[in-house]
Amino acid sequence: MNDFLNKTYLSNTIGDYLLLVGIILFAFFFKKAISKYLSNLLYKTIQKHVEEVEREKLFELLHKPTSFLILLVISYIATNHLEFPNQWNLAPENKFGLRMFIERSFLGLLVISISWITLRFTEFGALVLLKKSETTDSKQNDQIISFSKEFTKIIIIILTFFFFLGSVFNVDIGAIIAGLGIGGLALALAAKESLENLLASFTIFFDKPFVVGDLVQVGNISGTVEKVGFRSTRIRTLEKSFLTIPNKKMVDSELDNLSLRTHRRVHQNLRLANETSSEQINSFVKELQEYVDQHPQTNTEVKICFSDFGNGSLDILVQYFVDTPEMAVFLKIKQEINFKILEILKKNQIEIAEPLK
């Protein structure tokens, strides 16, 4: 048996190859268990700040990247003890060749896997903070957390890019950062619109014209804000479609935050027939004014009057405010008052003017 294991092929024994296969198989079959152990170890260090139910969520997020990292490191360690045949005459690791390719590939994948884990942990941190913010009534917290998560992920990706260049291509990162001062202007000109949207997102964040969950109207678009990102704001329209609007437009356009309304206005112009007498008009105006004034959900700013002599009609202005921002309640109150208008018109035998042709 020892003779068989000690047989040499390509400068390595059969025992070396079997050990390599065994280690890789071990890593492949036990990577999930190792990943869960590492996740639990990490959880214990932060469990004072999170809830027990979030343990599985942490494992769910970290399982794939940590499994990849475990398989990568163990495979590298397992293969590192193997020798290349001398007859191949391979270049050393510091010169271009197979050795350098393997070494740099490992370093590049290592940087990517660590970055992947960091991104997933950032998502977990955001989930924890969002869960804690559910105990508060402020919608601003959700927007801050979402904004901070996206900003952190962008920083991580940028740093990953620099570390990747440094480890794989041996690029001087300091020189690149210094060179950004020269290339920054060209980059800014090339990405002018993206930068404008980015600056607009900071304006939205600090000026707070709206927060996630608000009902807004931008131009002829109305809907509920679902997310504010670096480049755009996502709105669920009243037709339930999902609309993406550049942040620059959200800042530059006239924006009406409908969620901040305290009242909704009703403005109607009733066209009465020309045959309507002054007594009938006075009676109608008096009864309707009294009803709207006494309604529990209309305020004191009620204007009901004989406003104008129209084209083939006598016009009555009906204007009042309903003290609710909710559309369903507003429509219910408006309907009640419209039914009362019909009732008063019928009681006073008043006819509506014929429509204009």
Domains and CATH numbers, the chain: 2-141 (no CATH), 192-260 (2.30.30.60), 264-347 (3.30.70.100)
* 19-28, 207-216, 346-355: range with lowest mean pLDDT: 19-28
pTM: 0.62
In this structure, what token pair is assigned to residue 306?
């004989």
Query: What is the phi/psi pair of residue 355, to 5°?
Result: -65, 145
pLDDT at 4: 66
Of 231, 229, 159, nearest to 195 by C-alpha is 231
pLDDT at 139: 65
Pinpoint the alpha helices (H) of the chain. 2-5, 14-46, 55-80, 98-133, 140-168, 173-190, 192-207, 247-252, 278-294, 327-347
Most confidently modeled of 34-48, 106-120, 287-301?
A: 106-120
Q: Report the pLDDT averaged over residues 166-190.
A: 64
Question: Going by C-beta distance under 8 Å and a sequence separation of 6 or more, which residues neighbour residue 165?
Answer: 171, 173, 176
8 A C-beta contact, residue 47 and residue 122: no
**Is the confidence at residue 193, as pLDDT, over 80?**
no
d(CA 205, CA 203): 5
Query: What is the DSSP secondary-structure string of 43-112?
Result: HHHHTTTS-GGGHHHHHHHHHHHHHHHHHHHHHHHHHHT----GGG-PPPTTSSSHHHHHHHHHHHHHHH
Helix or strand or coil: residue 198? helix
d(CA 121, CA 227): 21
The pLDDT confidence band at residue 1, using thresholds 50, 70 and 90, is: low
Query: What is the phi/psi pair of residue 256, to 5°?
Result: -110, 115
d(CA 172, CA 156): 19
- Determine the residue type at 321: F
Of 238, 269, 259, 270, nearest to 352 by C-alpha is 270
8 A C-beta contact, residue 156 and residue 118: yes
The pLDDT confidence band at residue 177, using thresholds 50, 70 and 90, is: low
**Is the confidence at residue 20, as pLDDT, over 90?**
no
Helix or strand or coil: residue 233? strand
8 A C-beta contact, residue 58 and residue 125: no
Q: Report the pLDDT averaged over residues 92-120.
A: 85
